[in-house]
Structure 1
């Protein structure tokens, strides 16, 4: 007669194998169920992206203070105590450029108004106007300034056409505010001369103000439409920047937003490129390409952590300078030491990882740095162009 025997332990819900850890040794499925409270799912999501557990204590100090130590640990197979290289680099890349974007935006797009009110020659002043009469007064003043700028005899044709576009933008902003105030709109006939000038310069420089079409037969229609839209945005942003009128600040803001939007992806592409450069310069070391990738990830992670630290110290210096000048001076010296440590760190890391003599290490360090500098500069130019198409 068959008898039921109690199970000696938990079994895998997928294949039935007896579990002896957090994962099944038969099929690899985790013992953790996905049917759990939302709080546990949020905790797992944070752990997936940041892994802010005890490993960060073992990872960050040696990464910043011991050049090459973490990379050599990975080469030796000792990995469980440390955060994975790609995750480490990716997280600090996003954090560094987030704070860099804040610093640059604060430096370039601050209107300087102590009361928080927009300048009178800014389009946002039209949106802040309280009455229809104020809207019309601001509109008239801005249009007169643009007309005066356009009347300059030595003004280039692209800038003249861009001023026409800016005038249309000012009129649209004024009409939107008048509609909100339930007042009569400003008709284009009140500025017929502007339209005539714009039409005449559309013929003179059709690339800036003419329609944008992209016709590449071997590309899908959705791609050509996206290219045409990006080129149109690029032309509009550049025209407003060349104009120097009220739309310039908004155009620069759009370009900056687009630039920082594509910058992390652009630098992520440069990681395998840098690893390929290392592979070429150290071809006789017989190291696998993935080993060079780990070197590239750790070196870039160090740079992003340094950039993040410099940004945070800069914010702290600006905050305490009015109250404690000596403290801000100390922070400045710390920042200078951090800037000096960055190239020294990379040199020592290259020496320890690839284990060549100092003369050869210095030569390759200079050659690799020169090649990579121009490649990064080219990548940044591409990012600026993509940002201008935002």
Structure 2
């Protein structure tokens, strides 16, 4: 608000009277701000709204520089870091301050989404628990499950028939064709068994589904169970495998817990990206670790701000938003390396790939660590 107001000249020019002194250090004023202590000499008897806006401005330091910082941050990658490294400090918001504000906004939006998802999860389990005691609700849920099973069965069967035809075309011998037929016979039988389990008794299927949902658990199909490859053992309930198995049977609660940990630990990506840039440009002696830190601050500010914007979108648009970011982010990194370091096209492409892989692997390890921490809560 304060930064936007600066575009329209909200602050009137202040001219001190001859001989007027600073109220803080009693130095004779030469302008609105005391050159000795920096205090604002304009009238401090302001209305409450102005005090609130000034408090926001003090916290975020959002002055007119904000509107000279955001456009290049989003659309001219690398120019902010290049300006800062060349000594042009006053025209833009300092990179680390931009990063802190972006991180704060990202955490704020993420915490809001986490709270919303937790409420939805709680509401879903409560609804399922109440529905179990309502025969009409159980029947309605059974009808919905049957309808969904019919649609899924038709879709999966059609897909299997197409895949079977393609695989039979590729088979070069009668033995290979026999193996293909046997494989797809089992696949069709599995799909039919899954459908029949619901069609034979929709009420029982609905009751089972509602019971699991009321406990925050999901229905597991054969493929998911085989991938997990281990069974839950009540005797070993305290073991890591048992906890992992129990957590995987509660996917919504697990994802909620991981997301809650993940967005709080995302700050660790800043030092990781700084070190990665330092290794990629270790041969460029004129760049110091501080320079790489500036570039990393700008890139992480972009990533946190854009992810915060996407997380704030409605659920229907969120998937499209992350799809756009999947394309835009590597392009942004490529343009940043070109703009900040003056890398050639080929060099920037190679470094973008390496940086992308490094940060992705680092984030994957971070998620794995979060997963191990998360399962301890199950």
TM score, norm. by length of structure 1: 0.54
Structure 1 gap ranges (5+): 1-5, 126-137, 150-155, 162-200, 209-233, 319-330
Change beyond 3 A, Cα 1:50–1:70: same
> Could you tell me how far apart the structure 1 residues matched to 2:123 and 2:257 are?
26
* SS state at 1:303 partner: helix
Matched ranges for 1:1-390 at <5 A: 8-11=19-22, 13-14=24-25, 16-21=26-31, 24-27=34-37, 42-99=52-109, 110=120, 118-120=127-129, 159-161=232-234, 201=235, 205=236, 207-208=238-239, 240-241=246-247, 244=249, 248=250, 253=253, 256=255, 258-285=257-284, 286-315=286-315, 317=317, 332=320, 336-389=323-376
Tell me if the contact between 2:78 and 2:335 (Cα under 8 Å) persists in the aligned partners: yes
Any idea what SS the aligned residue of 2:128 has? coil
Give yes or no for contact 2:273–2:296 (8 Å, CA) kept in 1: yes
Deviations 1:280-307 (A, max 9, x none): 2212322122211110011111122222
Partner of 2:10: none
Counterpart secondary structure, 2:274: helix
Residue ranges of structure 2 left out of the alignment (5+ in a row): 1-16, 135-206, 220-228
Shift of the 41–340 alpha-carbon distance from structure 1 to 2, 3 Å rule, reads same
Q: Is the 8 A contact 1:237 1:388 kept in 2?
A: yes
CA pair 280-39 structure 1, distance change in 2 beyond 3 A:
same
Deviation string for 1:68-89 (max 9, x for gaps)? 1222222233333433322322
Runs ≥4 residues deviating over 6 A: 32-38, 104-109, 234-237
> How many angstroms does 1:55 deviate by?
3.2
Q: Provide, for residues 52-79 of structure 1, a one-character-per-residue CA deviation record: whole Å limited to 9, x for no partner.
A: 4443322222211112122222223333
- Deviation of residue 373 (structure 1)? 1.9
Distance 1:359 1:239, change over 3 A: closer
Deviation track 1:157-210 (CA, whole Å, cap 9, x = no partner) reads 98353xxxxxxxxxxxxxxxxxxxxxxxxxxxxxxxxxxxxxxx3xxx3735xx
* Shift in CA distance, 22/43, structure 1 to aligned 2, threshold 3 Å: same
Distance 1:43 1:383, change over 3 A: farther
Structure 2 CA distance for aligned equivalents of residues 388 and 89 of structure 1:
31
RMSD (Å), alpha carbons:
4.8
What is the alpha-carbon distance in structure 1 between the residues aligned to residue 272 and residue 73 of structure 2?
22
1:336 to partner: Cα distance: 4.8
Query: How far, CA to CA, are the matches of 1:89 and 1:263 in structure 2?
Result: 18
- Cα distance, 1:275 vs structure 2: 1.1
The residue number in structure 1 matching 2:164 is none
Take 1:52 and 1:256, find their aligned partners in 2: how far apart are those partners? 35
